[in-house]
Structure 1
Amino acid sequence: MLGAGLLGLQPPAVAAGWPLQHLRAPVLGSNQPAWHEAWQVAEAPLDGHTEGIRWRRAGDLLFGVIELAETPGGADLRTLSTQAYARIFRLLEAQALPHLWRLWNYMADINGTAAGLERYRQFNLGRAEAFEQGARSVVGRVPAACALGVAGGPLSVAFLAGPTAAEPLENPRQVSAYHYPAQYGPRSPTFSRAALVYPPGQELLFISGTASIVGHESVHPGDVVAQTRESMDNVAVVLEQARRHSRSGGHALSELSYRAYVRHAADAPLVQAVMAERVGAAPLVCVLADVCRAELLVEIEAHGLRPL
């Protein structure tokens, strides 16, 4: 076990023996109260704890989790974001595995306001500052990622990294997130729409959190069905871009594993129905979470793995 994510409100019964990111949010539309998403490898990993990061390394694969709690009178979300990413970058350099492939970011009250600025925009400020302080690009060659809001808990960041740069992919239907205009905050989000990466003998495709955005604008306000369809249209376009660069022949929509973040629990059956139309019986987990823009009702991410 290289590392894992735990989805659901129930904490693990015993402490995991590997890096575990607990997404403290209800699983929707399932008789399973919790789900694990596990990253497994063929060799015994090396364990480590560095600056609050729990990590494991197997060969040239590195998975880690860091959680930083917000406390009254303590550092704000911008500062915590900078600290978390700066620590991650120092670990990557120490392990000589400098390239981030995928990140999962979760925080409380993502659409709330503090000190006159939306908390998601505070997070983006801190993340971009850490990238720049670490002499890393904030445009172009950036990792796949998601950023979602949950009811409470710490800033939680999980990451997968390796020795070679991911091949970032963008969506011609959308403005690249790192080029969003200033109306979305003082610093643009630092992520690519998707990324192709190559562990030994494999091709791994990560599709970042994808929502109902065309150009840079949210579309279909108040209509979760239309937003889910638009989100999947965006996923399909990204998948076509990935196919042009793939070494394995590319992935089909039905071959991916999906996670859908749904703002309102009552919308989960509608989201699941649209997903079934588009991807058939592909694995899907729905989680109650807030999307980074208050008008967005659903966000979809996916990944796929193929041998070479």
Structure 2
Amino acid sequence: MNVVEHHLAAVPLSVACLPWPDTEQGTAPNPAPVLDLQGSALGCAVFAASPLAPPGEAPQSFVSTPVLDGPQAWAEIWRTAEPLRSGRQGPLTWRASADVLFGAITLNEADFVPRDGATPLQQAAEAAYQAIFALLAAEGMPYLLRVWNYLDDINGESFGLERYRQFNIGRQDAFLASGRPITQNVPAACALGTIGGDLVVFFLAGRAAPIPVENPRQVSAYHYPREYGPRSPTFSRAAVVRLGGDGERRDVLFISGTASIVGHRTLHVGDVAAQTRETLANIAAVIDQANQIVPGAGYRLADCLYKVYVRHPADLAVIRAEIDRVLPGAPILYLQADVCRSDLLVEIEASAGHPLEFCP
């Protein structure tokens, strides 16, 4: 086990990335720690090719994304040392401390029918975010900090429009209906294509507004021109979240899904090695911006937890070789997923500034 920082119980937010126990032998590989979704767990996301549901009180999301390296399934567990309360509001489950809330919602597109020009996916996305915003208002946690979105066939076309663009319409409609900004003060986020299944959204929210971080090498996603769809994506390139009191204050950095985009154009089409290098350059630029915005934070590429989404499993060796040259030994989870543009072959997200338990 690789514990990047000890004394996990002393901070307001930490994350554990652990392999799923071997169901055939009843033991975890290596061996792995027990998946504890009781006391300190805010919530959990499970990444695997086949559905798995861990026991426990914390809200849970299953994401249909095969793991490409190591165990066949992984659990990402967000934790806190603070007292917790839990609840359910319709299809949304949540758990919260005094300052941070983890929520999870899964919707089936089949429950929605086309109406008034709105596709089922568009309606599902709007419904998911409306449920999220209603919960945050009820619980006094008004600010979305980080959102993870997963949907089937993200680059496919239906009703005359790419499905990712349908999702963006529904997401933005919910922001607008709730009176929320759709530029600048928006959460860090990602949106990936799964190998099937429902619309899965899980998120972290809080009482204090995040500090948005943009990338000087890129046009902000919420300012993309209309060639990328009727509505721009509603997310910032990264966000810094200030948690805890003076004694245990943490400036947690969430870096959104990042790819080989400079300005607003995809670079290195068809060249997965060059796309990986460009993506790492973008992450480095975001970290540099975050360090300027939050002096003294001291974020470094080597200190982040990474999830790498690979479109074609055959590209894994090339992608990993490029990443290992820049980030030897970094905690990285490799997953198979489709990226939001069909010409993008790899996407990387990251987080830093929190204690990390990573068991490869």
Question: What are the superposed Cα offsets for residues 180-217 of structure 1, whole Å, 9 maximum, x if unpaired?
Answer: 00000000000000000012121100000000001000
TM-aligned CA distance change 1:233 to 1:126, over 3 Å: same
What is the one-letter code of the residue matched to 2:96?
Answer: R
Counterpart pick for 2:68 among 3, 22, 28: 28
Deviation (angstroms), 1:16: 3.7
Q: Which residue in 2 is equivalent to 1:251?
A: 299
Counterpart pick for 1:45 among 63, 75, 84: 84
Deviates more, 1:228-237 or 1:21-30: 21-30
**Match runs of 1:1-308 below 5 Å:** 1-12=41-52, 14-30=54-70, 32-71=71-110, 74=113, 76-200=120-244, 201-306=249-354
Distance 2:112 2:254 in 1: 37
TM-aligned CA distance change 1:13 to 1:156, over 3 Å: closer
Deviates more, 1:20-29 or 1:113-122: 20-29
Deviation (angstroms), 1:51: 2.0
**Counterpart secondary structure, 1:28:** coil
Give the gaps of 5 or more residues in structure 2: 1-40, 115-119, 356-360
What is the one-letter code of the residue matched to 2:258?
Answer: T
Percentage identity across paired residues of the two chains:
49
What is the one-letter code of the residue matched to 2:327?
Answer: V
Deviation (angstroms), 1:96: 0.7
Question: What are the superposed Cα offsets for residues 148-183 of structure 1, whole Å, 9 maximum, x if unpaired?
Answer: 001111101101000011000001110000000000
Distance 1:43 1:196 in 2: 20
**Counterpart secondary structure, 2:123:** helix
Deviation (angstroms), 1:13: 5.5
Deviation (angstroms), 1:247: 4.9
Distance 2:297 2:124 in 1: 41
Distance 1:14 1:194 in 2: 29
Deviation (angstroms), 1:11: 2.9
Q: CA-atom RMSD, angstroms? A: 1.3
Q: Which residue in 1 is equivalent to 2:22?
A: none
What is the one-letter code of the residue matched to 1:144?
Answer: A
Distance 1:125 1:86 in 2: 13
Deviation (angstroms), 1:256: 0.2
Distance 2:178 2:299 in 1: 33
Give the gaps of 5 or more residues in structure 1: none
Contact 2:112 2:124 in 1 (8 A): no
Question: What are the superposed Cα offsets for residues 260-303 of structure 1, whole Å, 9 maximum, x if unpaired?
Answer: 00000111111111111111211001100000000000000000
Deviation (angstroms), 1:35: 1.0
Contact 1:10 1:33 in 2 (8 A): no
Task: Report the TM-score, using the length of structure 2 for normalisation.
Answer: 0.83
Q: Which has the higher contact order (CA 8 A, sep 6+)?
A: 2
Question: What are the superposed Cα offsets for residues 197-252 of structure 1, whole Å, 9 maximum, x if unpaired?
Answer: 01212110000000000100001011111000000000000000000122543211
Distance 1:220 1:304 in 2: 28
Deviates more, 1:107-116 or 1:12-21: 12-21
Which has the larger Rg? Answer: 2
Distance 1:260 1:222 in 2: 18
Deviation (angstroms), 1:306: 4.7
What is the one-letter code of the residue matched to 1:52?
Answer: P
